[in-house]
Structure 1
């Protein structure tokens, strides 16, 4: 009986684990920007700012905003919207080596936020498997499925029409558990992969040409 009594408080405490707000609504504490263009122009305008209580990716200069901490086994909830025209952005999970691809993108698995394609995977120095790989992963004959510059890196999502009209808020939930990644957009499962080659790492948001606002970036552990 003693082991059961000992385990109960631990399980109870785990169930009560509070979500962690990765963005505090005030500043970019806990994050570090990696903007290659800033290497030669330290006074360049920022790519990421806080405006009216929201984290804003201005889109340019191109780069990433990366958490200072690493995470594993979590559910990440991101509420975002494109403020004007649609365009490109993304959430990168299991991020590790900076600028691994094209001198810009950190080694990671990207969950695409590009308007019209939210929930696509992009493999960046890592890899993940999905059902119907031949159909859902555009490739040329003989091209390798992987995360290298010559590989077939894009994996299409499962649904169209899950995003809200431009200017409205979207909710993306990314669940990373061991070697699996599940993506939901506005309550609809849009992608699921397994056998990921990474199971932990930092989380990054992109500046990739289009302004995007984030009003929530929140993480909770999963068991």
Structure 2
């Protein structure tokens, strides 16, 4: 019975990986030469398709909707995300978001949580699931967006359609905080990560998973104010900047290109800008 369920899971992942892709399997990733607005003219289907753990590619509860003002509303009523139809490489991502007030499902009353997965590879739902049920994410490198932890790097090594573990890794200069957690530091020790999280430099060691948490050094805008997150993806390096402050770096990342996934993770979120721009001449 387990083998049969595993085969069914593999088939579902294989179908999901191929059914909505806009590019040929061997197509080269797009390198922006001008600004690409992923929110486009308000038609999400121009650049994205959706994925939810309880609905696959269907969105019957309208978790993702565009307002008449051109602002994307993510209700948070589900786990999954908006996934770009194309793959991208060597880009400068600019995201402007603000939190709503709602927290839902298993995240009710907990820190508002979301994120952007970079360089996504493999099948939809290939990370965070089980042989019986696909997960919400993909093999990727995440730019974490969570109260108190905006700018953390997460290395997400998922599985391919056959159930084999896919490669994902990053090398970061780190120190260890009092609890032994990895924290990015420009003077730290270069360390290879094949899974796990690298905290942004100022993450409060007393962080708690409660709604409205705010650390002493947080650079994310407070409350429901707008925050700007920037990701500089050049070759196999990543630089994250939040409201103009560099908060994290990684080198020797793999994969170094792929789709992007904007998460829904049990928290209401508004996004007024999500752009891929050509890399600037100087990376911060």
TM range (shorter): 0.7 to 0.9
TM-score (norm 2): 0.65
Return the alpha-carbon distance in structure 2 between the equivalents of residues 123 and 47 of structure 1. Answer: 26
Unaligned 5+ segments in structure 1 are: 1-15, 139-143, 148-152
State the Cα distance separating 1:25 from its structure 2 match: 4.5
Partner of 1:196 in structure 2? Answer: 253
Compute the RMSD of aligned alpha carbons. Answer: 2.2
Among 132, 147, 158, the alignment partner of 2:174 is 132
Q: 1:43 to 1:130 in 2, by over 3 A?
A: closer
Do the aligned partners of 2:50 and 2:59 also contact (CA within 8 Å) in 1? Answer: no
2:143 is equivalent to residue 111 of structure 1: yes
CA distance in 2, matches of 1:113, 1:63: 14
- Residue of structure 2 equivalent to 1:146: 194
C-alpha distance in structure 1 between counterparts of 2:65 and 2:55, whole Å = 15
* 2:116 aligned residue: 91
Contact 2:51/2:58, CA 8 A, preserved across alignment: no
How big is the shift at 1:44?
Answer: 2.9
CA distance in 2, matches of 1:195, 1:158: 19
Tell me the equivalent position of 2:241: 184
Higher mean displacement: 16-25 or 92-101: 16-25
**Structure 1 CA distance for aligned equivalents of residues 271 and 58 of structure 2:** 25
After TM superposition, give the deviation of residue 36 of structure 1 in Å.
2.1
- Equivalence map 1:12-91=2 (5 Å): 17-28=33-44, 29-39=46-56, 44-51=60-67, 52-84=69-101, 87-91=112-116
- Aligned in 2, Cα 1:66/1:133: closer, same or farther, shift over 3 Å? farther
Judging changes above 3 Å, is the alpha-carbon distance between structure 1 residues 43 and 198 closer, same or farther for their aligned structure 2 residues? closer
Q: Deviations over 1:33-84 (max 9, x none)?
A: 0112114x95731221112311122112211100111100000000000022
**Shift of residue 214, structure 1, vs aligned partner:** 0.4
In structure 2, do the counterparts of structure 1 residues 146 and 47 end up closer, same or farther at CA, with 3 Å as the change threshold? same
Find 1:101's aligned residue among 123, 127, 138.
Answer: 127
Change (3 A) 1:43 1:75: closer
TM-score under structure 1 normalisation? Answer: 0.82
Distance of 1:172 and 1:207 partners within structure 2: 17
Q: Which runs of 5+ in 2 are unaligned?
A: 1-31, 103-110, 129-134, 158-167, 184-191, 203-216
**Retained in 2: the 8 A contact 1:47–1:63?**
no
Distance 1:42 1:93 in 2: 22
Q: Give the SS at the match of 2:201.
A: coil
Deviation readout 1:151-185 (Å, 9 max, x if unpaired)? xx111001332111111000000000001000000
